[in-house]
Amino acid sequence: MKIAVIGATGMVGEVMLKVLEERDFPVSELILVASKRSVGKKIPFKEEELPVVGLETAVSLKPQIALFSAGGSTSLEWAPKFAEVGTTVIDNSSAWRMDLDKKLIVPEINANTLTKTDKIIANPNCSTIQMVMALAPLHKQYKINRIVVSTYQSISGTGIKAVNQLENELAGVAGEMAYPYPIHKNALPHCDVFEDNGYTKEEMKLVRETQKILNDKTIAVTATAVRIPTAGGHSESVNIAFENDYAINDVRQILHNTPGVVVQDNTDTNTYPMPIYANGKDDVFVGRIRRDESQPNSLNMWIVSDNLRKGAATNTIQIAEYLINNQLV
């Protein structure tokens, strides 16, 4: 199995290589791809040091699968070129997510919709993935009518420039700014750019992608996305209104039985999810599960996950594993 990692020197690309190694992914040849300035650089993988190559070279090598994490413009230009030579592309950017002809996949929820003809597959936004992982089994059981979500997102979701900004601020050093304001000791209600409706792109991703993944445009979603100075892991406060009533213990049992979801919910022992403990893990952690006493059939939850792993690299590799295991590549 010949695999290409596009954006191998970036934050998500580095985690992809780590996850490929951890999961003993069946790679016969690994092609590491990055921008022209990184071509020739050596990157360790298992017992080897592999050279970085350019996109043209990678296309000519015709990998069976290309894992993209190099930004939307690169994906729009190069994903079709890989698809033309028979490569199946799994793309981490927002470029293809809302394309009507492309599938938006969280393996535990909708991988069974994939076929051999799907040559460009979209990986959802990190904040969407962790939310739908917890909500999909509850939607199946109780039918979700409305979601109100507020996110508390790590600076790592912005990239290395944001990590450097926080580190500089902690050290009291002036440096390049990823955000229009300081992030240390602060919270910015501003993730991505603002759209004409006053919401940010990040907030609208939660709306549009949730409806697409759950295959239900009747679900009303409203979101507020906030950037906070944590080094890794996104957190979400989620309020869900169901069509049908539920029992709290049944909700906990459904989530407990959902692959990839871990319930951490015991107020007697102060047990609840936190990004400091989710960091470096692939699971989605759910806690503070409680009835919304202000509305009928409504529920509150707190959802936490590592945005670079299940929110990006791990979900991408799980899609690739599904394709291989089901002989779709």
Q: In what order do the strands lie in the sheet with 144-153?
A: 220-227, 144-153, 234-242, 298-305, 284-291, 261-263
Closest CA to 278 of 156, 189, 176: 156
Token couple for 291: 């009835």
CB 49 within 8 A of CB 43: yes
H or E element that contains 58: helix 55-60
Active-site hit among 139, 190, 234, 256: 234
Best CA proximity match to 258, nearest among 123, 147, 108: 108
Q: 65 with 4: CB under 8 angstroms?
A: yes
Determine whether 126 is an active site residue. Answer: yes
Per the structure block, which two tokens stand in for 322?
């599904």
Euclidean distance between CA atoms 61 and 157, whole angstroms: 31
Which member of 126, 184, 190, 191 is catalytic? 126
Tokens of 217: 């445009």
Buried b / exposed e along 230-245 (16+ C-beta atoms within 10 A): bebbbbbebbbbbeee
Q: What's the rounded Cα separation, in Å, for the pair 315 and 37?
A: 28
Calpha distance 220→245 (Å, rounded):
18
Per residue, the 3-state secondary structure of 193-216, as one string, reads CECCCCCEHHHHHHHHHHHHHCCC
For strands 234-242 and 144-153, give the pairing: antiparallel
Active site residues: 126, 234
